[in-house]
Chain A
C-alpha cells in the first residue's frame, strides 16, 4: 500500500478541503464564545478584542453570579450521578449474574425508558411535583434527574458487568460470601473504569440539563448554573455579552474536561457510543 495513485491523492486533497470548510463552519459559534469572553466590549458577532482582558471573568467570579450556581450544579449533578450509579450497579448485578424471569421484561422496560422523550414529560412532572409539594426541592429534582438517567445507566452498567468474568466470583461463592460481599469486594473493583464512565456520562447529562431545574426549581439560591445563565441573559442580555460568554465558558469547562478524560484516559468514548449502538 506504499504507492499512492494520483486519483487517491486528489481524493485526499478534496476530502481535506471539504472537511476544513465544514470545520470552519462548526467553529464559528465556538470562536465567538471564546473571543467574546476576553473582550470587555463584546458584541454578538465575532470580532477581535481591542485588548485581551480577564475583566469579564473577574466580574462574574463573585459568589452570587458564579460560585453559588456552580456549587448548586455540583450538588444536583453530583447527587444525581452518585444515586444513579449506586442504584444502577445494584440493579445490574442480578440482571447480569442470575437468570431470572424478571430479567427480560425488566430490561425491555429499561430500554423503553431510555427512549422516552423527557422534555415531553415536564408538564405532567410539574403537576405531579406540585401535588406532592416537591416544587423547589433540590432533593426531589435530584431524584427525578436520577430516575431519568437510570435506564441508560442500568443498560451501560449491565454491559460492563457482563464483561467481568464470573470465575472469580465462583470462588467467593464457594467460600460462602454473600451477594453484597461479592459485589463490593470482587465485581466493583474489577469494573472501576466502567463505573467511572457511567458516572461521568450521567454527571455530564445532569450538569448540562437546563429544562428540568428550570421547571422544578424556583428560589434563586437553589438554581444551578444552567438556569442562572439563562436569567443572566434575560437581565443583562443586551449589554454584557462578554460576561455571559465568560460565565458560559466557566460552566462548560468541567464537562469538557470530563469528556476528554473519559475518551483519552478511560478510552470510553466508544463505550458511550457502544451503550447506544444497540
Chain B
C-alpha cells in the first residue's frame, strides 16, 4: 500500500482526533458511542454466556451446592472447603497427574512431533503419497468427535482391529481400554489431533526460503543438522504458537475419553474434564465439580495470558 493511501486512511480513521490530545467535544463523544453500538450484541452474548459461567464458577466453588435436593435451593457459603476436600481426595491429585501425562504425551510430544515429522516428510515425497497422507490424517480430524471416539473405541476394543491384527501375527494383545486406558486414549488423541499440527507446520515450512537450506547444504550441513540449526529455528514462532494451542485443545478433550473408557476403570483415565463431569453429574457433587472447573479455568487463563504475552498475536 502506498504512503498517501495510508495517510489518507489514518486521516479518515482519526478524524475526530485532530490534535494529539484532543478535548472531546460533545458531538464527538456521541459519535464514538454510536460507532461502538455494533459491538453490543457480541458484548451481551459474551457477558451472559461466557463471563456469567466463569463468575458463577468461582462463586459456586465456594458454596456447598449439590446437584439435587434441598441444598440446591439455598446453598451455603463454605469458603475454601471444596478445595481442601478436593486436595484431600485421592482422585484429584491423581487426575492432575493423568491430565499432565495426557497433555505431555498426546499434545506436546505426540501431535507436535508427529505433525512436524509428517509435514517435513511430505516435502520430500511424491504427490500421490502426499495427498493420500493429507486426506486420511485430516479426515480423522474433521470427523465429529463422537464418531472419531467410536472409531477409536472399536480399534482398541478387546475384540477390535488392533487385537485382531496382533493375533494374526501370534501376539495375544491385552484388553487395551481396561489394562492400558491412558495409553489408548493418548494414542487416540494423537490420531485425532495430529492433522492440526501438520497443517500449521506445513504452512510454516512453506515460508522458509529454500535458498537458506540450499546454501546450508552447499556448506555441507547434513539433513539432521539442517533441520535442527536452520529449519526449526526459522519456524520457532509457529512451534510455540502450536504448542500452546494444542495444549489448550487437549486440556479440554472430553468426548474421546468419555466414550472410550468413561474415565475408567474406576478413575484410572479421568483427566480433569472427565473428573469434573463424574463428580458433578454421577456422584452429585456439584460444588466439587465446580471447584475442578474453576481450577481448570485458572489453568486455561494462565496458558492464554502466557500465549498473549509471549507471542503477542496482532490485535490491531
Could you list which residues of chain A lie within 8 angstroms of chain B, going by C-beta atoms? 8, 11-12, 15-16, 18-20, 22-23, 25-30, 32-33, 36, 43-46, 83, 86-88, 90-91, 93-95, 97-100, 102-104, 106-109, 111-128, 130-131, 143-144, 146-148, 150-151, 154, 166-167, 170, 173, 179, 204, 207-211, 215, 226, 229-230, 233, 241, 244-245, 248, 251-252, 255-256, 259, 269-270, 273-274, 276-278
Residues of B within 8 A of A45 (CB): 154, 157, 159-161, 163-164
* Residue of B5, B143, B237 with most chain A CB atoms under a 10 A cut-off: B143
Within 8 A of A (CB), among B153-205: 153-155, 157, 159-164, 191, 199-200, 203
Give the chain B neighbours of A125 by CB distance below 8 A: 49, 53
Kindly list chain B residues whose C-beta atoms are within 8 Å of the C-beta of A151.
46, 50
| A contact residues around B146 at 8 Å (CB) | 208, 210, 226, 229-230, 248
Q: Looking at the complex, which one of A91, A204, A209 makes contact with B42 (CB distance below 8 Å)?
A: A91
Contact A23 B132 (CB under 8 A): yes
13 new A-B contacts at CB < 8 Å, known A15-B125, A251-B147: A19-B125, A26-B137, A30-B143, A44-B161, A98-B13, A102-B36, A112-B301, A112-B305, A112-B308, A115-B304, A147-B46, A256-B139, A273-B203
Complex contact A23–B54 (CB within 8 A)? no
Q: Which residue of A lies closest to B305 (CB)?
A: A112
Q: Give 5 nearest A-B pairs by CB, closest first.
A: A115-B304, A147-B49, A208-B144, A120-B296, A124-B57
CB-defined contacts of A115 to chain B, threshold 8 Å: 248, 300-301, 303-304, 307
Q: Shortest CB–CB separation between residue A48 and chain B, in angstroms?
A: 13
A117-B48 in contact (CB<8A): no
B80 at the interface (CB under 8 A from A): no
Assess the A87–B42 pair: CB atoms within 8 A.
yes
CB of B121 within 8 A of CB of A18, answer yes
The distance in angstroms between the C-alpha atoms of A11 and B199, with both chains bound, is: 22
Interchain CB contact under 8 A, A30 and B140? yes
Q: Does A23 contact B137, Cβ atoms closer than 8 Å?
A: yes
Q: How far is the CB of A195 from chain B (nearest CB, A)?
A: 15
Q: List, in ascending order, chain A residues with CB within 8 A of B129's CB.
A: 15-16, 19-20, 23
Write the nearest CB–CB distance from A176 to chain B, whole angstroms: 15
The majority secondary structure among interface residues of chain B is helix
24 A–B contacts, CB within 8 A, in A order: A11-B223, A22-B137, A25-B191, A26-B137, A32-B154, A32-B160, A44-B161, A45-B154, A102-B36, A115-B307, A120-B273, A123-B57, A127-B65, A148-B49, A151-B50, A179-B38, A226-B146, A230-B146, A230-B259, A251-B144, A251-B147, A269-B199, A270-B203, A274-B203
Do the beta carbons of A255 and B144 come within 8 Å of each other? yes
B71 at the A/B interface (Cβ < 8 Å)?
no
Q: Determine the chain B residues whose CB is within 8 A of the CB of A144 once the complex forms.
A: 49
Partner-A contacts on B (CB < 8 A): 5, 9, 12-14, 32, 34-36, 38-39, 41-42, 45-46, 48-50, 52-54, 56-57, 60, 65, 72, 114, 118, 121-122, 124-126, 129-130, 132-133, 136-140, 142-148, 150-155, 157, 159-164, 191, 199-200, 203, 223, 237-238, 241, 245, 248, 251-255, 258-259, 272-273, 276-277, 280-281, 286, 289-290, 292-294, 296-297, 299-301, 303-305, 307-308, 311, 313-316
B86 vs chain A, min Cβ distance (A):
13
B56 near A100: Cβ-Cβ < 8 Å:
no
Which of B13, B122, B147 is A33 in contact with, Cβ under 8 Å? B147
Do A167 and B5 have beta carbons less than 8 Å apart? yes
Name which residue of chain A comes closest to B191, CB basis.
A26
A173 to B38, CA, bound (A): 17
Are A99 and B41 touching (Cβ within 8 A)? no
Taking a contact as CB atoms closer than 8 A, the residue among B35, B130, B273, B314 that contacts A117 in the complex is B273
Do B143 and A256 touch (CB < 8 A)?
A: yes
Please give the distance in Å from B293's CB to the nearest CB on chain A. Answer: 5
CA distance A150 to B41 in the complex (A): 11
A8 to B39, CA, bound (A): 55
Q: Is the interface of A mostly helix, strand, loop or mixed?
A: helix
A144 CB to nearest B CB, Å: 5
**Contact call B124/A12, Cβ cutoff below 8 A:** yes
Q: Is the Cβ of B151 less than 8 Å from the Cβ of A99?
A: no
Closest to B249 in A: A117
Q: A19-B129, A127-B60, A150-B46 are in contact. Are A11 and B136 (CB under 8 A)?
A: no
From B14, which residue of chain A is reached at the shortest CB distance? Answer: A99
Q: What is the CA–CA distance of A96 and B18 in the complex, to the nearest angstrom?
A: 20
For A123, give its contact among B255, B277, B305 (CB under 8 Å).
B277
Max chain B CB contacts within 10 Å: which of A27, A43, A115, A143? A115
In the bound assembly, the distance between CA atoms of A173 and B8 in angstroms comes to 14
In whole angstroms, what is the CA distance A204 to B138 when docked? 14
> A188 to B190, alpha carbons, bound, how many Å?
39
CA distance A112 to B50 in the complex (A): 11
- Evaluate contact between B41 and A100: CB separation under 8 angstroms: no
- Neighbouring B residues of A259 by C-beta, 8 Å: 138, 142
With A102-B39, A112-B308 already in contact, the answer to whether A252 and B143 are too (CB < 8 A) is: yes
Instruction: Decide: B45 and A26 in contact? CB cutoff 8 A.
Output: no
Smallest Cβ-Cβ distance to B195: which chain A residue: A26
From A32, A248, A274, contact of B161 by CB (8 A): A32
Inter-chain contact B315/A118, CB cutoff 8 Å: no
A258 to B133, CA, bound (A): 20
Whether A122 pairs with B277 at a CB distance below 8 angstroms is: yes
